[in-house]
């Protein structure tokens, strides 16, 4: 039986944080045994907002070392940098010619980012989901594990794939595999919320670092951030996303790093206050991140090894991507 293909990308913007880890990285590591996996670091997506060139380069190395520290195995999975595989930009252009202004204009991430970067609403930001569709369709991906915020982009990708498959229907196999999203429910990490404002998602390039626990945060900093996180009025410990979103978020994080169910955590804190829970959560989080941080520090000093992984990753990716690109070029009539 041939293995199904899984693909997922992260932008090398900001610093990797527990939302990225609990929402996707942890899922990737457990899924890499069963799927043929591609993990592009999507640097061309990151430059849709201004990046410092040196920082961007540094982050690519840092993210790869963190991927491996989190458990991704470069012998099993293809880890590469999106811009090393030019087929992504080429297919994105072709898909642009099949994407409608109206559908792109409805994307909530575009609206959010346009507000946050009002002085730089560039056309790359607008076409962002088209490039993302190219990332996915080039590899004939079956499964796309992402956080909840990417659901709308995946819907657009599926629509584009259907549109081209329909327009160029042949007797032979369709041009594109239709990808399925895999989004963990909120209580399993699909949407970790900001620590100071639990009505918005935790985001790795949030300008207020108090909102976010980064994977490389020191113990003291984690303690402080959790202690100061916004909880709700009242003192009873219970999981209620609607009325106690701050507490529900902390309980979700606690459950995911301790391996205990939310119910059992709620039970064990009956009669105890939020303060008690926060102290224990901070400790559990610090202990959970400790081995990962240690492994990161060992790996990050070996730039040569990271370069090798990226070179090999790009070669593997290019071979697969070119097959799809050639099929599309041929189908739409490019000589
Ligand atoms: P940025 O703030 O730089 O836009 P981000 O934190 O949203 O970044 P991305 O690179 O856009 O991170 O996303 C990487 C992956 O992590 C995506 O699959 C995304 O859905 C997931 N993700 C991002 N934030 C969260 C979160 N708060 N909870 C769960 N998953 C998340
Ligand atoms: N758009 C995503 C990052 C991303 C991605 C992808 C995710 C780019 N290409 C392909 C899954 C599959 C984001 O902003 N989080």
Please list the alpha-helical segments (H only) found in 117-194: 123-137, 151-167
The continuous run of DSSP H or E covering 18 comes out as: helix 18-20
Average pLDDT over residues 263-274: 94
Average pLDDT over residues 59-86: 97
Contacts of 133 (CB under 8 A, 6+ apart): 92, 95, 153, 156, 157, 160, 161
Average pLDDT over residues 118-147: 96
- The structural domains of the chain, ordered by start, are 5-184+303-332 (3.40.50.620), 209-297 (1.10.240.10)
**How confident is the prediction for the chain on average, in pLDDT?**
95
Ligand 1 contacts CB of residue 13 (under 6 A): yes
Is 204 a known active-site residue?
yes
Looking from the CA of residue 147, the nearest atom of ligand 1 is: 20
Q: For the chain, state the CA radius of gyration.
A: 21
- Give the pLDDT confidence score for residue 187 in this predicted structure: 86
CA distance 171 to 317: 27
Helix (H, G, I), strand (E, B) or coil at 6: strand
Helix (H, G, I), strand (E, B) or coil at 218: coil
CA distance 72 to 70: 6
Residue 267 tokens read as 């039970």
Residue 174 Cα, ligand 1 centroid: separation in angstroms? 31
Average pLDDT over residues 264-286: 96
| Catalytic entry in 26, 204, 225, 244 | 204
β-sheet with 180-182: strand ranges across: 78-81, 36-41, 5-7, 143-145, 180-182
- Give the pLDDT confidence score for residue 145 in this predicted structure: 95
Residue 154 Cα, ligand 2 centroid: separation in angstroms? 9
Contacts of 61 (CB under 8 A, 6+ apart): 300, 303, 306
Least-confidence region, from 23-27, 59-63, 222-226: 23-27
- Give the pLDDT confidence score for residue 26 in this predicted structure: 92
CA distance 175 to 177: 7
- Give the pLDDT confidence score for residue 168 in this predicted structure: 93
- Give the pLDDT confidence score for residue 299 in this predicted structure: 93
- Give the pLDDT confidence score for residue 171 in this predicted structure: 67
Does the pLDDT of residue 235 top 90, yes or no? no
The continuous run of DSSP H or E covering 297 comes out as: helix 274-300
Residue percentage of the chain with pLDDT more than 70: 99
Q: DSSP label at 214?
A: B
- Give the pLDDT confidence score for residue 232 in this predicted structure: 85
pLDDT tier at 333, thresholds 50, 70, 90: very high
Beta bridge partners of 36: 5
Average pLDDT over residues 222-229: 98
- Give the pLDDT confidence score for residue 1 in this predicted structure: 66
Q: What is the pLDDT of residues 158-188, one digit of tens each?
A: 999 999 999 998 767 899 999 999 998 888 8
Residue 123 Cα, ligand 1 centroid: separation in angstroms? 21
Token look-up 């990151």 returns 46
Contacts of 194 (CB under 8 A, 6+ apart): 200, 201, 202, 203, 206, 211, 212
Which amino acid residue places its CA nearest to atom 15 of ligand 2?
A: 10
Looking from the CA of residue 136, the nearest atom of ligand 2 is: 10
Q: What is the pLDDT of residues 73-110, one digit of tens each?
A: 999 999 999 999 999 999 999 999 999 999 999 999 99
Q: What is the pLDDT of residues 1-38, one digit of tens each?
A: 689 999 999 999 999 999 999 999 999 999 999 999 99
How far separated are the first and last CA of the chain, in Å rounded?
35
Contact 58, 288 (CB under 8 A): no
Average pLDDT over residues 206-232: 96
- For 298-330, give the DSSP string: HHHT-HHHHHHHHHHHHHHHHHHHHHHHHHHHH
């Amino acid at each position: 039986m041939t293995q199904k293909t899984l693909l997922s990308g992260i932008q090398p913007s900001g610093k990797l944080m527990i939302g990225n880890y609990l929402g996707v990285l942890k899922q990737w590591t457990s899924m890499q045994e069963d799927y043929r996996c591609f993990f592009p670091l999507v640097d061309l997506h990151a430059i849709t907002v201004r990046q410092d060139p040196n920082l961007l380069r540094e982050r690519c190395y840092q993210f790869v070392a963190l991927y491996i520290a989190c458990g991704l195995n470069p012998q099993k999975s293809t880890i590469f940098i999106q811009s090393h595989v030019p087929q992504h930009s080429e297919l994105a252009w072709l898909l642009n010619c099949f994407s409608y202004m109206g559908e792109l204009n409805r994307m909530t991430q575009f609206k959010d980012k346009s507000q946050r970067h009002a002085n730089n609403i560039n056309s790359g930001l607008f076409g962002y989901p088209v490039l993302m569709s190219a990332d996915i369709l080039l590899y004939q991906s079956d499964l796309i594990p992402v956080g909840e915020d990417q659901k709308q982009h995946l819907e657009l990708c599926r629509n584009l794939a259907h549109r081209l498959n329909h327009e160029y229907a042949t007797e032979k196999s369709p041009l594109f595999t239709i990808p399925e999203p895999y989004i963990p429910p909120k209580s399993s990490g699909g949407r970790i919320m900001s620590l100071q404002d639990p009505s918005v998602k935790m985001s790795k390039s949030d300008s207020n670092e108090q909102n976010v626990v980064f994977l490389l945060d020191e113990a003291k900093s984690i303690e402080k951030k959790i202690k100061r996180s916004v909880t709700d009025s009242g003192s009873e410990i219970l999981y209620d996303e609607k009325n106690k979103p701050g507490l529900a978020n902390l309980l979700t994080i606690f459950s995911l790093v301790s391996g205990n169910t939310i119910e059992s955590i709620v039970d064990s804190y009956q009669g105890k206050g939020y303060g008690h829970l926060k102290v224990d959560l901070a400790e559990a989080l610090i202990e959970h991140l400790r081995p990962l941080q240690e492994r990161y520090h060992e790996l990050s000093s070996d730039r040569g090894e990271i370069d090798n992984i990226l070179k090999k990753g790009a070669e593997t990716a290019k071979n697969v991507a070119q097959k799809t690109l050639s099929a599309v070029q041929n189908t739409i009539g490019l000589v």
